[in-house]
Amino acid sequence: MIDLHPGYGCVESTLESLASADYITDTGLATSVFLALRMQKALFLEGEPGVGKTEVAKVLAQTLDTELIRLQCYEGLDLAQAAYEWNYPRQLLDIQAKSAAGSHTDASDLFRREMLLERPLLRAIDAAHARSPVLLIDELDRADEEFESFLLELLSDFQITVPELGTLEAEHIPVVVITSNRTREVHDALKRRCVYCWIDYPSAEKELEILRRKVPGIEARLSAQVVDFVHRLRREDLLKLPGVAETLDWATALGHLDARSLDAATVDRSLGLLLKYQDDIDKMRGALAARLVEEAVAR
């Protein structure tokens, strides 16, 4: 079973544990985290880029005092890169060494556990772990749909079958966090094995608290203006709205620019920290940004 930390004994303590690592959220996400741990299910997080999905796994590893194992998904990801592959150079050396000594090499010599190269999924269920690690399967929507079918065995029984060795099972069930930016739909069969939660952009109050914790050197007045400006920016028709990660980067950049209050010129120069498409920057730069700045400063 999953080795639980006393800080995750109920929804309220889960909220407190996340906050202790400066992760500010609401009872909805805290409930999902608590239930995923209690029910030994994967936590499936969807939401726009930059809203803090990946950070959940990092915070869990920190507060549970355990290892974080990350699998970054991408198109073409296969079993050898995600779970395991045989150490072919070592197998060849073993064959050559035994041949030079006049010994015969059989399959049991070549396909033993020491010859196996563990990738993130197999590492997560390795019996050598002293406690449950956190397995982050990041941006699953970037991987091919065929990869999801392999995950079903892992999420159903926390085991992986290696034909040459048999079935390898976890002694300490990993805490699994799966994230998706919803660039495509993930199959229902996989979602059914998870506790699902959508992470939305935080309220202005929560984002201001996040900013104060993550960028403590910025003045309170500027922090409030930054959050107000970003929330107004998210109401615009943009190709990509700025996430919390962009808010934090922008606030840090304003600190390096010695800003004490927002002004149109500084915002125009630093829009690349908030917006990642040139069309969006061109649309906002100038009169529109100046108006949002004026509204944010006057508030």
**In this structure, what CATH number is given to the domain that contains residue 13?**
3.40.50.300
Residue 102 structural domain: 84-116
Read off the pLDDT of each residue in 205-231 and give the average, rounded to a whole number: 94
pLDDT of 43 higher than 90? yes
Indicate if 27 and 154 belong to the same structural domain.
yes
Residue-level pLDDT at 105: 67
Residue 240 lies in a domain: yes
Read off the pLDDT of each residue in 74-98 and give the average, rounded to a whole number: 85
Indicate if 135 and 256 belong to the same structural domain.
no
Indicate if 282 and 221 belong to the same structural domain.
yes
Identify which has the larger pLDDT, 98 or 289: 289
Among the listed ranges 21-25, 87-91, 224-228, 253-257, which one has the minimum average pLDDT value? 87-91
pLDDT of 173 higher than 60? yes
Read off the pLDDT of each residue in 285-297 and give the average, rounded to a whole number: 94
Residue 247 lies in a domain: yes
Indicate if 43 and 188 belong to the same structural domain.
yes
Read off the pLDDT of each residue in 76-86 and give the average, rounded to a whole number: 88
Indicate if 157 and 107 belong to the same structural domain.
no
Indicate if 51 and 99 belong to the same structural domain.
no
Residue-level pLDDT at 96: 81
Indicate if 68 and 192 belong to the same structural domain.
yes
pLDDT of 1 higher than 60? no
When divided into structural domains, the chain yields a total of 3
Using pLDDT thresholds of 50, 70 and 90, give the confidence band for residue 4.
low
pLDDT of 139 higher than 90? yes
Indicate if 173 and 279 belong to the same structural domain.
no
Indicate if 232 and 100 belong to the same structural domain.
no
Residue 261: CB atoms within 10 A of its CB come to 13
Boundary-marking domain end, from 198, 216, 249: 198
Identify which has the larger pLDDT, 100 or 21: 21
CA distance linking residue 18 with residue 160, whole number of Å: 31
Burial grade of 241 (CB within 10 A; 0-12, 13-18, 19 or more)? buried
Indicate if 102 and 38 belong to the same structural domain.
no
Burial grade of 183 (CB within 10 A; 0-12, 13-18, 19 or more)? exposed
Residue 95: CB atoms within 10 A of its CB come to 15
Q: Cβ(168)–Cβ(122) under 8 Å?
A: yes
Indicate if 171 and 137 belong to the same structural domain.
yes
Residue among 287, 262, 285 nearest 272 (CA): 285
Using pLDDT thresholds of 50, 70 and 90, give the confidence band for residue 34.
very high
Boundary-marking domain end, from 116, 135, 167: 116
Residue-level pLDDT at 92: 84
* Residues in CB range of 6: below 8 A, 6 or more apart: 13
Among 26-30, 95-99, 165-169, name the most confident range.
26-30
pLDDT of 156 higher than 60? yes
CA distance linking residue 105 with residue 96, whole number of Å: 9
Proportion of the chain above pLDDT 90, given as a percent? 66
Residue-level pLDDT at 30: 96
Residue 226 lies in a domain: yes
Boundary-marking domain end, from 139, 163, 198: 198
Read off the pLDDT of each residue in 94-109 and give the average, rounded to a whole number: 73
Residue-level pLDDT at 3: 54
Whole-number mean pLDDT of the chain?
A: 91
Residue 179 lies in a domain: yes
pLDDT of 19 higher than 90? yes
